[in-house]
Amino acid sequence: MRREYINYPSNIPMTVSYVDIKEYPIHWHYAIKIIYVLKGTLEVYINSGKYEIHQGQLEIINVDEVHHLHSKENNKILIFHIDPYFFEKYYSDIKNMFFYTKSSSLHSQSSEEYDELRTYLSRILCEVVQKQEDYDEEIEDLLVKLLYHLINNFNYLIYEKEELKDDANQLQRYHSISKYIFNNYNNNITLKDIANNEFLSPQYLSHEIKYATGYSFTDLINLTRVEESIKLLLDTDKTISEISEEVGFSHTRYFNKNFKLNYKVTPLQFRKKYKADEVQLEKLKNFEILDLNESISYLSYFLEDYDRFNYEDKIFQINIDMSKDLGNFNKNFRTIITLGDAFDLLIEDNKDTLEEIQNEIGFKYGRILNVFTSDMAIFPNSRFCNWNRTKDVLEFLYSINLNPLIVIDSNGFTEENFMQVMESFINYFSDLESLDFKAFKFELSSELPETLKFKIQELFINNHNIEIHANYTMDKISQINPIYDTGYMLPYVIHNLLANKDSLPFLRAFDVLDKQVDLTNEVFFGYPGLINDKGIKKPSYYGYYLLNKLGDILVAQEDGYIVTKTEDEYQILLYNFHQDIDKLIPLEKFSKLRGVKNATSKKLSLNIINTCSDIKITSYEISEKQGSSFNYWLQMGSPKRLTKEEKEILYKASFPQIRFQHFKKSAVINLQTLLKSYGAILILIKKVQNHP
pTM for the model: 0.64
SS3 18: strand
Helical packing angle, 267-274 and 252-263, nearest 10°: 60
Q: Say if CB 530 and CB 537 are below 8 A apart.
A: yes
Euclidean distance between CA atoms 313 and 18, whole angstroms: 21
Beta bridge partners of 36: 58, 78
Closest CA to 234 of 273, 261, 184: 273
CA-to-CA dists, residue 255 to 67, 226, 244, angstroms: 21, 7, 6
Enumerate the β-bridge partners of residue 411: none
Cβ–Cβ under 8 Å, residues 93 and 62: no
Q: Which amino acid is at 154?
A: F
User: What does pLDDT average to in each consecutive run of 10 residues of the chain (692 residues)?
Assistant: 89 96 95 95 91 93 93 96 94 83 83 92 94 92 94 70 51 64 78 74 76 78 90 94 92 93 93 91 94 88 79 76 94 93 95 96 95 94 93 96 94 91 94 91 91 92 84 64 90 91 82 75 89 92 96 94 95 88 68 44 88 92 89 89 90 90 87 89 89 54
Residue 289 CB coordination number (10 Å): 9
Strand partners, 431: none
Q: Is 556 helix (H, G, I), strand (E, B) or coil?
A: strand
Residue 363 to residue 504: CA distance in whole angstroms: 13
The pLDDT value recorded for residue 5 is 93
| Predicted local confidence at residue 122, as pLDDT | 95
Q: What are residue 588's phi and psi, to 5 degrees? A: -60, -40
Angle formed by the axes of helices 191-198 and 168-184, to 10°? Answer: 140
Can you tell me whether residue 202 is helix, strand or coil? Answer: helix
Pairwise CA distance, residues 337 & 352, whole Å: 16
Question: Kind of pairing, strands 76-82 and 14-29?
Answer: antiparallel
Tell me whether residue 193 is exposed, middle or buried, using C-beta atoms within 10 angstroms of its C-beta: 0 to 12, 13 to 18, 19 or more. middle
| Domains in the chain, CATH or no CATH each | 3-154 (2.60.120.10), 162-275 (1.10.10.60), 332-477 (3.20.20.80), 479-503+527-688 (2.60.40.1500)
Question: How confident is the model at residue 126, as a pLDDT?
Answer: 93
Residue of 538, 536, 568, 569 whose CA lies nearest to 648: 536
Confidence at residue 474, expressed as pLDDT on a 0 to 100 scale: 65
What is the DSSP code string of 333-391?
A: GGSEEEEEEGGGGGSHHHHHHHHHHHHHT--SEEEEE--SSGGGT--TT-SS---HHHH
Positive or negative torsion for Cα 139, 145, 151, 156: negative
**Exposed / middle / buried, residue 287 (Cβ in 10 Å: 0-12, 13-18, 19+):** middle
Residue 27 burial by Cβ neighbours in a 10 Å radius (0-12, 13-18, 19+): middle
Q: What is the pLDDT of residue 476?
A: 47
Picking from 207, 211, 176, 212, the residue whose alpha carbon sits closest to that of residue 194 is 176
Residues in the chain: 692
Cα dihedral 329, 332, 334, 335, rounded to 10, equals 150
Q: Collapsing DSSP states into helix, strand and coil, what is residue 629?
A: helix
Looking at residue 6, the DSSP 8-state letter turns out to be -
CA distance 596 to 98: 37
The pLDDT value given to residue 39:
92
What does the alpha-carbon distance between residue 268 and residue 247 come to, in Å, rounded to a whole number? 15
Query: Which DSSP symbol is given to 621?
Result: E
Alpha helices (H) in 533-607, listed in sequence order: 539-548, 587-594
pLDDT value at residue 516: 64
d(C-alpha 442, C-alpha 470), whole Å: 8
